[in-house]
Structure 1
Amino acid sequence: MTEIDAQQNSDARVDALLLQLIHAIRSEIEVAYGNDHEARLQDLLILATEVFVLEQEWRRHWTRNATRRREVLEASLGRLRAYRTESELFEQICVESSRACGTDRAFFACIDRGTWIPSQSFGSRNLHGTAIEQWNGLALQVDALPLESELAGKLRTVVVDTVERKEQAPPPVQKVMQNHSFVITAIPSVGTVTGALYVPFPPRASENDEIITIVERFATGVARIWDRILMARLVKAQQTYVHKALSSTEWIMTSFDTAVDLVQLAGRAGSIATVTESSTVPHSTLENQMTVREREVMSLVSIGKNDNDIAQELAIAPSTVKSHIRNTMRKFGAVNRADLISRYYAFPPR
């Protein structure tokens, strides 16, 4: 039921009550004045004016009250949005729902794969959540609970206002509601019921439609907050998985590059062995083509340091190290690092 529907129903009730009041007053005036039509008409006009003023005042009061309820509802949902875990959310749902609905108590239960699991506390504006230790570990099958089965099957608010239906409620709900009439509203997620919210009816039956509207809006807000928490947890798990996968991939690629370098260096071992000691110094002409930074980088590459170590030692970025190595490889005509080291020491171009 939307807020507009609730207002229309309330307006219809007021109109009906005012019409009954006018008829009753008219009957009393006819008895009092008899055939004095002029006096009777004058009094009726006065009463009609007073009734009209009363009706307008009531409508203004209803609008102010509805605005205040919306503000309280948004404030409760705003506080729940600050929580980042399901346990924090579940702990405060009952308290915030009792505040939002203007009731003195509320109850919440999770519905997970056909199992009804009660909250370990019930909300109260006075008690601010009271733990019930005897509910620890309690889990009931939804199929065995008539009211919750009706809720799960229709995804709509269920009204519990008779003794028979109250007795069908789970024991924790009966204990919290204490024979009060109440409504059960589904907290939906992806087309299924993931939770149930129990809120008592107010003493005045005329407010029932308003309570149902507020409870449904509160439940919808809680469902969105819950979905956000679940999504954030899923994204975090995926980020952790991707980070581990990237780390593993980087380690594998580094190991692979090292293996290739060692193989190619071993292949050149015979040639390197024939090189005289003086040939282990780069050719002066080619060395002059290298920048000071490239020579610094090559001196560290030649002793087996990786890019991160070189970057840390020279106080430059790893990407800058890679750029210097690429430029040096181009000048030496090397195809990879192993080839670059070999050419740098063993085969300097003439």
Structure 2
Amino acid sequence: MLKKVLRGIFTIIGLVIGYIVGYAVLNNPTVKEVNFLSTAVGTVSSTIFIMLIFGVILFLISPRIYNSISNLIEYAEKNIQKLSATEILYSAIGIIIAVGITSLIGYPIRKISQLLDSDLGAALGLIIILLLNLVAAIIGADVFIKKKDSISMLLSGLKKGTGKEKKHKPVVKTIAKILDTSVIIDGRIFDICKTGFVEGPLVIPNFILDELRHISDSSDSLKRNRGRRGLDILNKIQKELDIETQIWEGDFPEIAEVDSKLLKLAQVLKGKVVTNDFNLNKVAEFQGVPVLNINELANAIKPVVLPGEEMKVLVVKDGKEPTQGVAYLDDGTMIVVEGGRKFMGSPLDVIVTSVLQTAAGRMIFAKLKE
């Protein structure tokens, strides 16, 4: 329906253009010298003929014009959907500032074109000014979108600086804690924040939320449950804790991997990544990005076990070696007992021989007490 209406509108536009062109042509002194066109019948019939030509032309090309407009609107909608409300606001501000600057630059060009005593010079000056404004608008929007975080931090700093009541108060600098997908799904971050050992703000990037949403919509029931658990943990942090949380709505389109985006964001915000991913921890360490590893914290607060200590354990499964048995402490620490395989299911008194401590966990090696 819309296509038919637009086709009719374009046809009417073609008729109007034909009337304007026909009027201009028939009023030309050279054309008036033609006997037939100098009469009223000739003038009217020629005008109608020219109107019909332009009307038919616009009628025939209107589908292509409609498709071009539809593609342009669809392209604009896709690109606008990728932008957050903050990015749209900053792009609008950038366009206004850039066009204002180019208007000042284009003022001398406009004056020079007005001094030229020809329509061509004036038209050329107008075209140059329009092109300058277009290029400046694109550059201004792009610059303000890319620098929105720096501009926001500058504006917030100026706002804090204008407060008279805060002039003599010491400012405590807080470091942003950027949450990884794995640590959100793990859930222990909620308990750690609840104890007050971690200060805000907690930053949840928008691309992490998108990843959690995709995991929640997975056809695999295990992945789906993990994703929903992560979203539930975020809701609990926002509703039940007093810690400050922020949603970072930006993105890094040039970076494909989520982990790389996370490290880039930590560098931009000068914050720390909170994770329990051992591989991400190593990559962050290589790139010089500070990391708070939940597993390292859990290992740090476990009771200290020294070689030579005695303990009572229950062997529950076989070890890798033929004579080894495996037991576990209450906190989940694995104990490898030499010669414990034949005592599976029985409580044993063992002596700790060594302790292996890594970022991925802790492992205790023990032998049977003689």
Give the TM-score normalised by structure 2. Answer: 0.28
The higher relative CO (CA closer than 8 Å, separation ≥ 6) is in 1
Bigger Rg, which one: 1
Higher share of residues assigned strand: 2
Q: When you count helix as a share of all residues, which structure comes out higher?
A: 1
